[in-house]
Amino acid sequence: MREEVGFIGLGVMGRPMAENLREKYAVTGYDMDESRFQGLTGVARADSLSELARRCQVLCLSLPNAAVVEEVTIGAKGLARDLKAGAVVIDFSTNLPSVARRIAAALAERNGEFADAPVSGGEAGAKAAALAIMVGAAPATFRRCLPLLSTLGKSVVRVGDVGAGCVAKLVNNMIVASAFAVIAEGFALAEKNGVDSRLVYESIREGWAGSKVLDVSAAAITTNDYTPGGTIAMLEKDLSYARSMAAESRVPIPMTAAAHEILVAGQAAGRGASSQPAIIELWRELGRRRATP
Neighbours of 139 (CB within 10 A): 9
- Helical spans, DSSP H, in the chain: 14-21, 49-55, 66-74, 97-108, 122-127, 139-152, 164-192, 197-204, 212-223, 232-249, 254-268, 278-288
Cα 119 to Cα 134: distance, rounded to the nearest angstrom? 6
Residue 124 CA to residue 71 CA, distance in Å, equals 28
* CA-closest candidate to residue 39, choices 48, 49, 29: 29
- Residue 169 is a catalytic residue: yes
Cα–Cα distance for residue pair 289/284, rounded to 1 Å? 9
Other Cβ atoms less than 10 A from the Cβ of 13: the count is 23
Distance CA 168, CA 104 (A): 18
Burial call 231-264: b when 16+ CB within 10 Å, e when fewer:
bbbbbbbbbebbbebbeeeeeebeebeebbebbe
Catalytic residue chosen out of the listed positions 84, 127, 169, 192:
169
At 157 the three-state DSSP class reads strand
Residues in the chain: 293
Instruction: Give the number of other Cβ atoms within 10 Å of residue 208's Cβ.
Output: 6
Which has the closest alpha carbon to 280: 213, 234, 228, 206?
Answer: 213
What positions carry a catalytic annotation?
A: 169
